[in-house]
Structure 1
């Protein structure tokens, strides 16, 4: 699947279901966010920040959110979807974090969702120390591979991102086995209606499934 379609799929899903994304993957942080207040997506600004020596990134998302505690009125949540192992990933996360902080003067929470298939790629912190100087940034990480043994839990969940995770995992597992992928694509699509999602939710999730679980032309015609 072309990288642009993959990135677009995740970006659109996060934008369409941001509260559900946070409660599904990062509940400890979600409980501090006031989702009754409008969130603001700042992806255009993030794109300008990332172009300064970090290369083009399509799957990043920057969101302005309000907090429940009434103290600090709002913070920024930076979400990175990473589809392949990268040695400098934690360094990049740190650079993004401080650049966003420098741009807005607000605290930034950095989060990562790893969609790659490398069991050994599990970043989670950027550290540097020398003499009495110490710098450390830890950030929450979700590894989709860890859901492979939780499919029953995913099928029983009403959260839209359970469908997103199943589509991602089944897409990886059925690579090169198009008939099996076709069967799973149909099953996941039917699940959207069985769960009673709204029309907008069905359309948003259908689009993600269609982007991630690509099929040969003849099977795509049969599917549609």
Structure 2
């Protein structure tokens, strides 16, 4: 089976959002299927996952290009099946999207000649009625009906996923259906989910960075969130207060201790800064080892591309 992640190549902002989605799903592919398509997940041998070459398809009429950035081959009940995942990370309505899905399906099938399971993921900020079918027919003859699976995040009630011990579900709470009044509650439930996940700091930071990219609380909301967390029981509230990651707390503690030993207030402040920098470099190093892209690491850690490249040289 293979996955193809189709990317619209337009503005840098689009590419940035698209890259976050691609990295999330690529890193947690099994968890993505488990959360949204459990019936598919149960039929896949994830030990057989094999990346396939990247493809670029061009729409000659409109002059647009789409890139199949992620193509993974996995076994499904003893056969090789191509699974196409299209991630649309912006509110970009396309009247002929269903036709495009059929086009890319056809191009992939023409190359690999294997069964294909197409899936589209819509992350629009508004509520739309997307089609999941492309039909070609005449008054006198029905040629074909092409269908694909789809996830419309904004139509999903975020509360339906808060009991999932799933990193993709946690990250995508930020794109699901919630009201402005529920923003603080969504963030609190996200933090609860993060506490339950047993993943390394690099992956934890990827999830947190994704969430913050789409749901970032203002100062008043942060104060309300902190108030509600402190009202939780110590068993539940303390682990949340230790977030986002133990590596960051460790860096702060080491920096603070360094400053205390120097006996100067400026030493404390400089020590804290050094601790933060070292902790950030450490997490960037772990993210590089996990295979995350430089673009995503820059977004999550706030390091510049030059610093990321230097860390790569030091590995």
Shorter-chain TM range is 0.7 to 0.9
Aligned to 1:20: 31
Q: Alignment RMSD, CA only?
A: 3.3
Give CA deviations for 1:102-129 in whole Å, capped at 9, x if unaligned: 1222221110111114434221000011
For structure 1, the residue ranges without an aligned partner over 5 or more in a row are: none
Matched, 1:169 2:169: no
Q: Of the candidates 140, 144, 153, which is equivalent to residue 149 of structure 2?
A: 140
* CA positional deviation for 1:34: 0.9
Q: Larger deviation: 183-192 or 3-12?
A: 183-192
Aligned to 1:64: 73
- Taking a change above 3 Å as real, the CA distance of residues 120 and 213 of structure 1, as seen in their structure-2 partners, is closer
* CA positional deviation for 1:137: 0.5
Contact 1:20/1:161, CA 8 A, preserved across alignment: yes
Aligned to 1:191: 192
What is the CA–CA distance in structure 2 between the aligned matches of 1:193 and 1:61, rounded to whole Å? 26
Aligned to 1:212: 214
- Taking a change above 3 Å as real, the CA distance of residues 154 and 135 of structure 1, as seen in their structure-2 partners, is same
* CA positional deviation for 1:21: 0.8
What is the CA–CA distance in structure 1 between the aligned matches of 2:60 and 2:72, rounded to whole Å? 20
Give CA deviations for 1:174-212 in whole Å, capped at 9, x if unaligned: 5xx9xx96x578646633541133114312212312333
- Taking a change above 3 Å as real, the CA distance of residues 109 and 193 of structure 1, as seen in their structure-2 partners, is closer
TM-score, length-scaled by structure 1: 0.76
Q: Of the candidates 43, 59, 66, which is equivalent to residue 32 of structure 1?
A: 43
Secondary structure at 1:121 match in 2: coil
Matched, 1:2 2:13: yes
Aligned to 2:87: 81
Aligned to 2:105: 97
- Taking a change above 3 Å as real, the CA distance of residues 52 and 207 of structure 1, as seen in their structure-2 partners, is farther
- Taking a change above 3 Å as real, the CA distance of residues 164 and 58 of structure 1, as seen in their structure-2 partners, is farther
Max Rg structure: 2
Aligned to 1:160: 167
* CA positional deviation for 1:52: 5.7
Give the count of matched residue pairs.
Answer: 207
Contact 2:86/2:119, CA 8 A, preserved across alignment: yes
Highest relative contact order (Cα 8 Å, sep 6+), 1 or 2? 1
Contact 2:166/2:197, CA 8 A, preserved across alignment: no
Q: Larger deviation: 132-141 or 195-204?
A: 195-204
